[in-house]
Amino acid sequence: MSTAPRLVDLRVGDINDLNSVVHIMNRAFDPHFGEAWSSSQCIGMLALQGVWLTLACEGEALVGFAMARAVAGDGELLLLAVEPERRGRGIGGTLLRSVIADARDRRAERLHLEMRAGNPALALYRAHGFTQVGQRRAYYRGLTGEAFDAHTYAMALTD
Ligand SMILES: CC(C)(COP(=O)(O)OP(=O)(O)OC[C@H]1O[C@@H](n2cnc3c(N)ncnc32)[C@H](O)[C@@H]1OP(=O)(O)O)[C@@H](O)C(=O)NCCC(=O)NCCS
């Protein structure tokens, strides 16, 4: 039997997918750090102008997602998460490249993101050209009330 990684299918998600998205998010983000969004935050964000949801599916199963926004030339990667058991197979990178391409199509000139300081996802973002542009002290509040800094990153989408 082949052990080659399966390719994922990407598709556009909508409000009907949010239950599955929140399920993945709650498994993907360690609750200790307080990074995951609530269902109502996702519903509210998806309703905003310029926001889109990209789903990574293996067959019928959702294995990862990205939510992003592009408005007035500025893009933001809002969320990126992959099922813990499916990591390290390129699914996060596939989602990230799709968001970058979609943001370009939507005429964004820069793509921003914000991430907890120390999140190992930084290696993935650096590999795709993001560099740090700022810091927000005590931005995330973890389960025990502990505060964690956020770092902001950006990449240019213009040549
Ligand atoms: C970040 C995330 C989406 C990456 O998904 P993925 O499918 O594993 O990504 P890929 O397989 O395409 O790339 C993995 C790369 O990301 C980096 N990386 C991301 N998360 C990592 C982790 N927890 N531990 C180690 N490396 C990690 C590594 O550089 C790795 O590269 P390598 O495979 O060459 O070693 C996934 O780890 C995740 O869901 N994390 C929790 C949610 C999160 O923190 N999201 C980012 C902030 S919004």
Ligand 1: centre distance to CA 8 (Å):
16
The answer as to whether 4 is a domain residue is no
- Ligand 1: lining residues by beta carbon, under 6 Å: 28-29, 79-82, 87-93, 115, 119-121, 123-124
Q: Which structural domain, as residue segments, surrounds residue 57?
A: 9-156
Q: Ligand 1: which atom is nearest the Cα of residue 115?
A: 47
Ligand 1: centre distance to CA 12 (Å):
21
The answer as to whether 149 is a domain residue is yes
The answer as to whether 3 is a domain residue is no
Into how many domains does the chain fold? Answer: 1
In single-letter form, the type of residue at position 155 comes to M
Tell me what the mean pLDDT of segment 136-140 comes to: 94
* Residue 159, pLDDT score: 76
Average pLDDT value over all residues in the chain = 94
Tell me what the mean pLDDT of segment 72-89 comes to: 97
| Protein residue with its CA nearest to atom 29 in ligand 1 | 123
Give tens-digit pLDDT for 57-66. Answer: 999 999 999 9
* Residue 5, pLDDT score: 54
Q: What share of residues in the chain are helix, strand, coil (percent, to 5)?
A: 30, 40, 30
The answer as to whether 97 is a domain residue is yes
Measure the N-to-C terminal CA separation of the chain; round to a whole number of Å.
44
Residue 155: name the closest of 127, 121, 136 by CA: 127
Ligand 1: centre distance to CA 116 (Å):
13
The answer as to whether 1 is a domain residue is no
The span from the CA of 76 to the CA of 53, in Å, is 12
Ligand 1: centre distance to CA 30 (Å):
13
Q: Ligand 1: which atom is nearest the Cα of residue 94?
A: 12
Tell me what the mean pLDDT of segment 7-14 comes to: 94
DSSP letter for each residue of 42-70: HHHHHTSTTEEEEEEEETTEEEEEEEEEE
The answer as to whether 116 is a domain residue is yes
Ligand 1: centre distance to CA 155 (Å):
18
Instruction: Tell me the three state secondary structure of residue 37.
Output: coil
CATH number of the domain at 29, please: 3.40.630.30
Contacts of 33 (CB under 8 A, 6+ apart): 116, 140, 142, 148
The span from the CA of 15 to the CA of 53, in Å, is 9
The answer as to whether 55 is a domain residue is yes
The answer as to whether 95 is a domain residue is yes
Give tens-digit pLDDT for 89-126. Answer: 999 999 999 999 999 999 999 999 999 999 999 999 99
Residue with tokens 């964690």: 148
Burial 69-104 (b: 16+ CB within 10 A, else e): bbeeebbbbbbbbbbeebeebebbebbbeebbebbe
